[in-house]
Structure 1
Amino acid sequence: MKITPTAIPDVLLIEPTVFGDSRGFFFESYNQKKFVEMTGLPVAFVQDNHSRSQKHVLRGLHYQIRQPQGKLVRVISGEVFDVAVDIRRSSPTFGIWVGDYLTAENKKQMWVPHGFAHGFLVLSDVAEFLYKTTDYWAPEHERCIRWNDSALNVRWPLKGSPLVSEKDANGVLFQDAEVFP
């Protein structure tokens, strides 16, 4: 496993060691002991989520203001552009985003710690996306920042308009969002 900090060092890209031959491949998608040893993060995951979305679906930018969730995310089918936005007011990277391409082919994962808003855009015809979370979903604490807020200037690799839920279309502007201290 290879772990690479992004431009925001708390957000990590994780590349598993893949063993492949003419029959296919095998890799450990998660190993608690190795994750803790290599990251220094004493993380415990309590919930796994699985979404399937069509091309141009954009989900985000989501977070929970209470019961914040750290997320370990990956794609098992297709391709997405995955984004994390630092919403920790005391952070030197407050209001800055990082993004990377996660695909079934590259098998990369992204660690998005709590204190970040998270979203992704589907680039393939269909994508299946897995999330491991450090706390349970709490809809009463869920918040959404508008995906196209010019203050954040996320450079989504998209021509035209994405397909978004009503909740995502009505997300708040970053300047109005509840953020972490």
Structure 2
Amino acid sequence: MALERSVRAKLIAKRDPEREREAREWISSVIGKNLKPAPIEDILRDGTVLCELINKIKPGSIKKINTAGGDFKMMENINKFQDAVRAYGLSDADIFQTVDLWEKKDISLVVTTLFALGRETYRHPEYKGPHLGPKPAEEHKREFSQEQLRAGQTVIGLQAGSNKGATQSGQNIGASRKILLGK
């Protein structure tokens, strides 16, 4: 019982109300409707809002959103969302597990997925809506000529340091330190 309270306290401490507010406002602006005033996990739990979100970002991502049919159908919505964001470009490391949302195990991971999705939208020029989070860095490939590469091979980097005048004298390797006490 005490261990369960400790785990729950740690999960609550991981949550960031400011990030949750930003994610909530972003979802609302993307789907074009106000979300009910409730905790974010209650709004997203059945997966319908998540499915609407990815369909607005990439139309046709989810063909059929379940609105009835019990818990299994609602969890299926969450799984469809996860598959759709994976196809959109998110890595598995950025996607929460279904139980994190359905059982409210770790809502901070759900919010992290939303931020990852918001960042991914920058990489898709066809998406014209609002973004969430900072723009990802772009790759800047550099091309070096063979002459430049050869010139770099003759330089000794400063990190290599210098062993000028270095010896092992006084290092006392393997011998124990002897402390003499005065009489």
Normalised by the length of structure 1, the TM-score is 0.25
Say which structure is richer in helix.
Answer: 2
Say which structure is richer in strand.
Answer: 1
Normalised by the length of structure 2, the TM-score is 0.24
Looking at CA atoms only, which structure, 1 or 2, has the larger radius of gyration?
A: 2
